[in-house]
Amino acid sequence: MVEALDLQSFPSNIYTGETQPQPDERFQGQPIYPYVPSSELVDAVNLAIYLKRPLLLKGEPGCGKTELARAVAYELALEFIPFPVKSTSRARDLLYTYDSVARLRDAQLANSGEVVRRNAFDYVNFGPLGKAFYENRKAVVLIDEIDKADIDFPNDLLWELERSEFEIVELPDNHEHRKVSADETARPIIFITSN
């Protein structure tokens, strides 16, 4: 049997499961409902926070996996950034997309003198995990229903999840934003759900 965690030695972000919303309260524009976790689940959440590792939640649809992630964000007053996985989702979608078509169009217009050439970084659109890393502020990121994705999806994220960093390969090697990484103190709290 595992002993209870010594929460006194934990850093500042401790989830207790005791902070509950008021009736009809909203959190980031959405209704938020009370969530009463077991002590084991509270320990698992705090261990994931302490170790800076994702927490995989597996269970039947509707059992509260997503609501746990929202409850943690609510209690810790952090931004909640969900990513609902689809069968067409790619791991890179969690990090960023790059609008190559717009860049090509703008390059052609710039050559004709119709528009000013923009920075290559202007065509980057961050996904939920990329946003959390780039903004370098703590957040709760939910990768919801990862089992819907291709079998390679989780493997394609191992490096990024381990190091909280990634590269935007479309940017030049010497570009200041080519490598995006979260500060050690600002790593997001990541929940991954699976049915």
Q: Give CA separation, 18 vs 10, 22, 72, 142, 143, in Å.
A: 17, 12, 10, 21, 24
Other CB atoms within a 10 A radius of the CB of residue 182 amount to 21
The string of DSSP codes covering 107-175 is: HHHHHTTSSPPPPGGGGEEE-HHHHHHHHTS-EEEEEETGGGS-TTTTGGGHHHHHHTEEE-TTS-TT-
Express each pLDDT in 149-183 by its tens digit.
Answer: 988 888 888 889 998 899 999 998 988 999 999 98
Query: What are the beta bridge partners of residue 97?
Result: 125
Position 137 scores a pLDDT of 84
pLDDT class of 2 with cuts at 50, 70, 90: low
Express each pLDDT in 33-59 by its tens digit.
Answer: 899 999 999 999 999 999 999 999 999
Residue 63 DSSP one-character state: S
> Mean pLDDT throughout 10-17?
74
pLDDT class of 110 with cuts at 50, 70, 90: confident
* pTM of this structure: 0.85
Judging by beta carbons within 10 Å of its beta carbon (0-12, 13-18, 19+), is residue 136 exposed, middle or buried?
middle
pLDDT class of 4 with cuts at 50, 70, 90: low
Position 116 scores a pLDDT of 66
Q: Which position has the token pair 């103190």?
A: 185
Give the rounded percent of residues in the chain with a pLDDT score beyond 90.
57
Give the tokens for residue 171.
């940017």
Position 10 scores a pLDDT of 56
Mean pLDDT of the chain: 88
Give the tokens for residue 67.
């609501």
Q: pLDDT at residue 8 above 70?
A: no
Radius of gyration of the chain, Cα coordinates, nearest whole angstrom: 19
Express each pLDDT in 114-143 by its tens digit.
Answer: 666 678 898 999 999 999 999 988 999 999
Output phi, psi for 185, to 5 deg: -85, -10
The architecture (CATH level 2) of 7-194 comes to 3-Layer(aba) Sandwich (3.40)
